[in-house]
């Protein structure tokens, strides 16, 4: 008699387990379908994928660039802007973040850290800016004309940094 009572219970348990397995499988199927839909929405158009892999860049529509307000500054303008910011802050040393904020408040230019660092490195190489030892700040090196001569040349009277005058 014990076997007859176990048969309906066993069949209910089997039905329950089957329902759980089906629901689990359906949940995964729904999950994969949602992922597939998301991937289809993100996938690049075929016109862009005809280029070499890893080389194609998605083209932005003119409305996207206008909406975000981002534009690329012309060549050389960024360097002049950064140098002006250093000159205006002299003799106080300033950090990269302060330069970025100053450029944005001055004329709305948004500078990337990498671009800014390249500009700072160029100014350091040109001897117009120096890094404060032990910090991540730089200061503008003012130049003075000594004598009555040639600004920028090697002759007496050329432009020289103030620190070299102090060493003499």
The yes-or-no verdict on residue 129 having pLDDT over 60 is: yes
Q: DSSP label at 98? A: H
The CA distance from 26 to 134, in Å, is 60
Q: pLDDT tens-digit profile of 41-84?
A: 666 555 555 555 555 555 555 554 455 565 677 778 888 888 89
- CA-to-CA dists, residue 152 to 15, 120, 155, angstroms: 92, 20, 9
The answer to whether 84 and 90 are in contact (CB under 8 A) is: no
The yes-or-no verdict on residue 110 having pLDDT over 60 is: yes
Percent share of the chain, pLDDT over 70:
64
Structural domain contains residue 78: yes
- Copy the structure tokens of residue 144: 């003075």
The yes-or-no verdict on residue 153 having pLDDT over 60 is: no
Range of the domain at 96: 70-141
The answer to whether 120 and 96 are in contact (CB under 8 A) is: yes
The yes-or-no verdict on residue 125 having pLDDT over 50 is: yes
Structural domain contains residue 32: yes
Residues 74 and 135 occupy one common structural domain: yes
Residues 86 and 25 occupy one common structural domain: no
Domain tally for the chain?
2
| 36-45, 102-111, 126-135, range with greatest mean pLDDT | 126-135
Q: Give the pLDDT band of residue 143 (cuts 50, 70, 90).
A: confident
Q: Give the pLDDT band of residue 159 (cuts 50, 70, 90).
A: low
The CA distance from 133 to 31, in Å, is 55
3-class state of residue 161 by DSSP: strand
Residues 17 and 77 occupy one common structural domain: no
Residue 133 sits in a domain whose CATH number is 1.10.10.10
The yes-or-no verdict on residue 117 having pLDDT over 70 is: yes
What does the pLDDT read at residue 26? Answer: 85
The answer to whether 139 and 95 are in contact (CB under 8 A) is: no
What does the pLDDT read at residue 112? Answer: 87
What does the pLDDT read at residue 149? Answer: 54
Least Cα distance to 48 among 36, 64, 60 occurs for 60
What does the pLDDT read at residue 57? Answer: 55
What does the pLDDT read at residue 70? Answer: 59
């Amino acid at each position: 008699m014990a076997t007859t009572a176990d048969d309906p219970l066993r069949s209910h348990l089997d039905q329950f387990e089957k329902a759980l397995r089906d629901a689990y499988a359906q949940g995964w199927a729904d999950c994969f379908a949602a992922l597939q839909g998301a991937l289809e929405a993100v996938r690049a158009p075929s016109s862009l994928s005809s280029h070499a892999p890893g080389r194609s860049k998605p083209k932005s529509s003119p409305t996207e660039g206008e909406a975000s307000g981002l534009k690329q500054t012309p060549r050389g303008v960024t360097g002049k802007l950064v140098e002006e910011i250093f000159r205006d802050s002299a003799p106080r040393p300033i950090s990269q973040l302060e330069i970025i904020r100053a450029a944005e408040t001055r004329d709305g230019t948004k500078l990337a850290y990498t671009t800014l660092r390249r500009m700072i490195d160029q100014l350091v190489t040109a001897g117009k800016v120096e890094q404060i030892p032990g910090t991540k700040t730089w200061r503008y090196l003012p130049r003075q004309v000594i004598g009555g001569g040639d600004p920028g040349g090697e002759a007496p009277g050329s432009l020289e940094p103030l620190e070299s005058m102090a060493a003499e």
